[in-house]
């Protein structure tokens, strides 16, 4: 066989994402896998925007339509995630068995709690199976370009944007907000789309917090962190600096203070990620949980203003009001916990479930050391976000994040860098 032909075939095999031991095989398999993964990730990104358009211009929608759309994306991800390896099946079996026990103890079931973990499992194992950094790079760049295009449309042509995407009407149709909460308005941006106080990031841009495809600015900031972290992690990525610029621009347009602060922290910690052992990240959320709870007990927190200290007080107030039975997962609560990711996780999965899910994330095996850098970045992001929101469960940003984590954990980074040096 011609040696040159062998070299070309090896390069083609890598570009098709076949560096992993048991990937989606063959050229047809590569095309199918890449197309289905793109549908699942980009679909998760755009689902709510599409449903908002349908609700505004075609027909009313409800949470049922959202659920069906998410099921389509999850189905596509699981189709690629399932293979002969036992990891995905064992993870699902353990989680579903635990949740069925929790439902039996509580006397009620919660399908949303199942969905909250199905998303990470499906997209993470899809990324692990494909192990294709090229596809991951392209999806991040494509997502960032889409997000910025819609963001500029929303910011520069707001009234025209609302003619096609009545965000407030969409959330009213879903029942996420009520007419009382929006003072009878039926058309407009999401409640948090206009900040009552002056902007923190570039005040001259005005009070409009741009949400883009996410329809609410919190997820726009979260997406910016994820895209920025991937570009920071990927020094060989084509379009790396463009992605960074797009991510930071989106964060600024959304006036996402959390997103901007998190990008700064992630960047400052870049030189030390390799030195941080798993044990530190393993105990991280529980140290934060204890510290915030103690803070709440000491100051008697009952919430606060819409700033960092105020959001900490909200989390502290929720934690100090939770019954032990709720924390252990044997009793349900109707307390509003969406503004505290830690509290939301405790009330949905109980402390044993929280420990198990976090441990599975931190202790998941990875193929090569560079993967630990990206995982550490996401750990920092999650630890900070847990204090102020449960938005990390949303498919709008979670689909891409978990796909990137799965890709990072199994990609052959040495082969990838060697290939691009030759080119």
Structure confidence at residue 288 (pLDDT): 86
- Helices 278-299 and 308-321: crossing angle in degrees, nearest 10, is 80
Distance, in Å, from the CA atom of 115 to the CA atom of 333, rounded to the nearest integer, reads: 19
In a domain, 86, yes or no: yes
CB 207 within 8 A of CB 194: yes
The label of the residue with tokens 């999650």 reads 382
DSSP state of 198: P
Distance, in Å, from the CA atom of 161 to the CA atom of 313, rounded to the nearest integer, reads: 36
In a domain, 396, yes or no: yes
Distances (CA, A) of 274 to 368, 403, 406: 12, 22, 18
Q: Within 10 A of 238 (CB to CB), how many other CB atoms are there?
A: 12
Q: Which of 239, 208, 244, 209 is nearest to 225 (CA)?
A: 244
In a domain, 56, yes or no: yes
- The chain-wide mean pLDDT, for the chain, equals 88
In a domain, 123, yes or no: yes
Instruction: Give the burial class of 64: count Cβ atoms within 10 A of its Cβ; 0-12 exposed, 13-18 middle, 19 or more buried.
Output: exposed
Number of domains in the chain: 1
CB 354 within 8 A of CB 328: no
Host H or E run for residue 183: none
In a domain, 138, yes or no: yes
Task: Look at 30-34, 101-105, 275-279, 356-360 and tell me which has the smallest mean pLDDT.
Answer: 30-34
| Residue 17 pLDDT greater than 50, yes or no | no
pLDDT higher at 17 or 184 = 184
Residue 343: which domain range? 27-422
pLDDT higher at 379 or 12 = 379
| Residue 58 pLDDT greater than 80, yes or no | yes
Average pLDDT over residues 386-393: 90
Distance, in Å, from the CA atom of 56 to the CA atom of 52, rounded to the nearest integer, reads: 6
pLDDT higher at 11 or 321 = 321
Residue 294, both tokens = 């103690």
Q: What are phi and psi of 208, to 5 degrees?
A: -70, 120
Helix/strand/coil for 275: helix
Task: Extract the runs of DSSP E, i.e. beta strands, from 136-204.
Answer: none
* Confidence tier at 149 by pLDDT (50, 70, 90): very high
Structure confidence at residue 301 (pLDDT): 57
Distance, in Å, from the CA atom of 8 to the CA atom of 14, rounded to the nearest integer, reads: 10
In a domain, 331, yes or no: yes
In a domain, 8, yes or no: no
In a domain, 6, yes or no: no
| Residues 99-142: tens digit of each pLDDT | 999 999 998 988 899 999 999 999 999 999 999 999 999 999 99
| Residue 411 pLDDT greater than 70, yes or no | yes
| Residues 59-100: tens digit of each pLDDT | 999 999 999 999 999 999 999 999 888 889 999 999 999 999
Structure confidence at residue 25 (pLDDT): 52
Q: Which of 188, 260, 193, 182 is nearest to 224 (CA)?
A: 260
| Residues 317-337: tens digit of each pLDDT | 888 888 889 988 899 888 888
Distance, in Å, from the CA atom of 121 to the CA atom of 84, rounded to the nearest integer, reads: 16
């Amino acid at each position: 066989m011609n040696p040159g032909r062998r070299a070309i075939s090896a390069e083609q095999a890598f570009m098709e994402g076949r560096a992993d031991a048991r990937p989606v095989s063959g050229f047809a398999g590569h095309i199918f896998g890449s197309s289905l993964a793109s549908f699942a990730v980009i679909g998760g990104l755009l689902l709510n925007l599409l449903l908002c358009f349908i609700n505004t211009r075609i027909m009313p929608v409800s949470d049922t339509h959202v659920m069906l759309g998410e099921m389509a994306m999850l189905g596509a991800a699981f189709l690629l995630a399932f293979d002969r390896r036992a990891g995905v099946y064992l993870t699902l079996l353990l989680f579903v068995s635990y949740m069925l026990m929790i439902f039996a103890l509580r006397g009620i079931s919660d399908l949303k709690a199942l969905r909250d973990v199905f998303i990470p499992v499906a997209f993470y194992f899809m990324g692990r199976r494909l192990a294709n950094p090229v596809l991951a790079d392209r999806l991040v760049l494509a997502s960032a370009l889409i997000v910025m295009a819609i963001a500029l449309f929303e910011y520069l042509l707001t009234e025209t944007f609302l003619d096609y995407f009545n965000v407030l009407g969409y959330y009213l149709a879903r029942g996420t907000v009520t007419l009382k909460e929006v003072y009878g308005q039926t058309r407009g941006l999401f409640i948090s789309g206009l900040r009552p106080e002056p902007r923190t990031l570039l005040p001259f841009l005005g009070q409009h917090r741009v949400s883009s495809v996410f329809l609410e600015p919190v997820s726009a900031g979260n997406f910016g962190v994820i895209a920025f972290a991937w570009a920071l992690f990927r020094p060989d990525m084509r379009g790396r600096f463009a992605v960074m610029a797009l991510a930071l621009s989106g964060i600024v347009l959304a006036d996402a203070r959390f997103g901007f602060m998190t990008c700064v922290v992630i960047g400052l910690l870049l030189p030390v990620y390799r030195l941080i052992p798993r044990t530190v990240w393993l105990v991280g959320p529980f140290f934060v949980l204890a510290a915030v709870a103690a803070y709440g007990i000491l100051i008697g927190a009952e919430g606060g203003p819409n700033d960092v200290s105020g959001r900490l007080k909200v989390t502290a107030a929720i934690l100090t009001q939770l019954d032990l039975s709720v924390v252990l997962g044997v009793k349900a609560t109707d307390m509003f916990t969406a503004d505290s990711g830690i509290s939301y996780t405790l009330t949905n999965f109980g402390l044993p479930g929280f420990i198990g899910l976090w441990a599975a994330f931190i202790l998941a095996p990875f193929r090569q050391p560079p993967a630990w850098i990206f995982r550490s970045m996401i750990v920092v992001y999650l630890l900070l976000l847990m204090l102020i929101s449960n938005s990390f469960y949303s498919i709008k940003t979670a689909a891409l994040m978990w796909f990137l984590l799965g890709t990072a954990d199994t990609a052959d980074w040495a082969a990838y860098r060697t290939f691009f040096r030759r080119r």
